Amino acid sequence: LSDKAESGDWKEFFWNPRTRELLGRTASSWGLILLFYLVFYTFLAGMFCLTMYVMLLTLDDYKPTWQDRLATPGTDPHSDQSSTESWDTYVQALDAYNDSQQVLKNDACAPDQYFIQEDSGQVRNNPKRSCQFNRTVLGECSGLTDRTYGYRSGKPCVLIKLNRVTTHCREIKDATKSRARHSLLSSPGQREETDFLGQIAYFPTNGTFNLMYYPYYGMRAQVNYSQPLVAVKFLNITLNADVNVECRINSNTIGDYSDRDKFAGRVSFKLRINSE
């Protein structure tokens, strides 16, 4: 009898036909609870959407809200002496630097000066123009005459670029006042291994990142921007030896390099050319 009573109580709690209650609540009680939670969560969702909307109003599609200055930009080498397949992606990317493509998309800018394109008050000067970087400037390292970039002949080329960093026009003006010049790329290597490097050729001449490619305003503002490249060609590097190479940016607008950050404004890599 006790089991039947407990079973009856459980069934009556789930649905009581006398009071027409479901799980102890009438239809009106359930309706009020559901209405409360519907209004409550609708209010929370509305607050979230309103907060996101207000936050998005403060953002600029063309300029980062926070622009902490990167005083020592990094460098980015791509080299592999084992097979051409490992650099096929980078070779294809160089097609965008073909002179024919650059003439169609970018301007022939005046060298040795910043290409500043400021907005006129609230009027956006977008899209901004970009300067031509012709592939032929890379000379023997352009890949136009030697698709192996010198690796087959034991005179390898290494292409280096600066990381893209959106620059303040204010900082550009300050740098101009301090007689800013080209950023020069040098590959001195370590002291004890300088003799192993042999003769080095730079393309463009002296390994310069010309001022006309700066400032960089971002991918949205400069859709056709072509990052300037510097090619380093090792003409008679010591064969059958691991040679440590360090490339760094030399500019009067960049402070002293810190030993704590070995990748700020410089890059190190190992190069080995076998005789067979």
State the 10-residue block means of pLDDT for the chain, 276 residues long. Answer: 57 73 80 93 97 89 64 50 64 90 93 88 84 94 90 89 64 40 53 73 88 88 90 89 84 65 75 82
* pLDDT on residue 22: 76
**Within 10 A of 87 (CB to CB), how many other CB atoms are there?**
21
Q: What is the length of the chain?
A: 276
Confirm whether 219 is domain-assigned. yes
* pLDDT on residue 37: 94
Confirm whether 158 is domain-assigned. yes
- In this structure, the answer to whether residues 151 and 184 fall within a common structural domain is yes
* pLDDT on residue 179: 37
- In this structure, the answer to whether residues 119 and 214 fall within a common structural domain is yes
Q: How many domains does the chain have?
A: 2
Angstrom distances, CA of residue 38 to CA of 25, 27, 52, 243, 270:
18, 16, 21, 69, 64
Confirm whether 32 is domain-assigned. yes
Pinpoint the alpha helices (H) of the chain: 2-14, 27-57, 88-93, 99-105, 169-177, 194-197
Confirm whether 247 is domain-assigned. yes
Domain with 85 in it? 75-273
* pLDDT on residue 173: 43
* pLDDT on residue 178: 34
Residue 178, both tokens = 């301090």
* pLDDT on residue 123: 79
Reported as type and span, the H/E element at residue 231 is strand 229-234
**Closest to 230 in 3D by CA, of 164, 186, 172:** 186
* pLDDT on residue 174: 41
Contact at 8 Å (CB) between 40 and 52? Answer: no
Contact at 8 Å (CB) between 233 and 140? Answer: yes
- In this structure, the answer to whether residues 102 and 158 fall within a common structural domain is yes
CATH number of the domain that residue 212 is part of: 2.60.40.1660
* pLDDT on residue 245: 86
- In this structure, the answer to whether residues 115 and 193 fall within a common structural domain is yes
